[in-house]
Copies of this chain bind each other. A is one copy, B any other.
Amino acid sequence: MVENLTIALDAMGGDRGADMVIPGADIARLRYPDIHFLLFGDENIIKPLLKQYPRLEAVSEVVHTDVAIDMDAKPSQALRKGRRVSSMWQAVDAVRHGKASLVVSAGNTGALMVMAKVILKTMTNIERPALAAIWPTLRGESIVLDVGATIGADSRQLVDFAVMGEAMARAVFSLEQPLVGLLNVGAEEVKGLDEVKEAGRRLREANLPMKYYGFVEGDDLGKGTVDVVVTEGFTGNIALKTAEGTARQIAEYLREAMSRTLFSKIGYLLAQGAFRILKQKMDPRSVNGGVFLGLNGIVVKSHGGTDAKGFASAVDLGVDMARDDLITKIAEDLEAYHGGEIEDLAGEDKQLKIEKVQNS
């Protein structure tokens, strides 16, 4: 699995489709010379584009599909129209059949999530997948999940997210013991949503080989207080978009301020190198890509509005996870957790029986 990775790409996905995916794949090819691509989509669009990237063409196979999923289609519509025949479906299906180690799509998030779930199925004990995002922080990067795959999560699902996110952090950040926190409105154990408090109790008591930090708050995301931040999809999605919006807002303030006077313009020119570094740090493209966790296969979701560079970052993320054999590791961790939990329950049952005997 480590060498000669094959990557399935939904070449029709994203606001700009193949015009963005093909050059993006070419950037990824430069980084990983031993990679192969399966490009799913309209060959009349893909093949002429590939001619411009002969080295990419040499390591790619085009699989023609007739249907492309609309970016704003509802998941149910997408499934009706795109089952078996769409580029997105076939790209995901290539992972199921072992033809590819992972799939990357910049297409419709809801459709990708539903198709991936139908095709790859969720792992044992997992009801619903989570979408994990890479979050830039003052300490480096963290993983935040769920950022919007599903809405609401009970305490068991939050613990599953913690187990999956922790395994991903080991793979993607090469950490031995990532620190895991639960997103809440206060650090004290008595505060917050019942599901979150209960998940905290489970994580403390579960005896998992995991460094559980406790609760974190919204401002801990940017600080990088923990390596993995666990939350349910509604709050996670709003936190992610709030941070993106705030970054854009400050960039706009900065742009306005620097173009206000002659002095500030000269200052800007002198400090151009510094601004370039700042821009890179704030560039959402450098950390583009979320991953659906909890499925029997690696599915990477790139931003729909990204460019070739951002798409290549999403491919990077998938390659890191495939090389680390993330799916096997997550399956093992979940088995260890849920296996242990079942034993505990059996223990409780015994206890109950003993009490019953004593009472009767």
Contact = CB atoms under 8 A, between A and B. Distances in A.
Interface of A: 74, 136-138, 148, 151-152, 183, 185, 190, 192-193, 217-223, 231, 233-235, 237-250, 252-254, 257-258, 260-261, 263-264, 266-275, 277-278, 281-282
A237 B239 CA distance: 10
Nearest to A137: B249
A242 B133 CA distance: 15
A222 B234 contact: no
Contacts of A269: 267
Contacts of A248: 219, 222-223
Q: How many copies does the complex hold?
A: 2
Contacts of A241: 217-219
A282 B270 contact: no
A222 to B, nearest CB: 4
Contacts of A274: 257-258, 260-261, 263-264, 267
A249 B254 CA distance: 14
6 contacts: A148-B185, A242-B243, A250-B250, A264-B273, A268-B271, A271-B271
B222 A249 contact: yes
Contacts of A185: 148, 151, 233-234, 237-238
Residue from the set A137, A138, A220, A267 with the largest chain B CB neighbour count within 10 Å? A267
Contacts of A277: 257, 260
A263 B193 CA distance: 50
> Which among A234, A239, A242, A250 has the greatest number of chain B C-beta atoms within 10 A?
A242
A115 to B, nearest CB: 18
A151 B152 CA distance: 14
A242 B219 contact: yes
A270 B273 contact: no
- Residue in A74, A151, A192 with the greatest tally of chain B CB atoms within 10 Å: A151
A235 to B, nearest CB: 5
A234 B193 contact: yes
Contacts of A222: 242, 245-246, 248-249
A165 to B, nearest CB: 17
A216 B164 CA distance: 30
B247 A218 contact: no
A218 B237 contact: yes
Contacts of A263: 270-271, 273-274
Given A192-B234, A267-B270, 17 more contacts: A151-B192, A152-B193, A185-B237, A217-B237, A217-B241, A222-B242, A222-B246, A235-B235, A242-B243, A243-B243, A247-B250, A254-B278, A264-B271, A267-B268, A267-B271, A267-B274, A271-B271
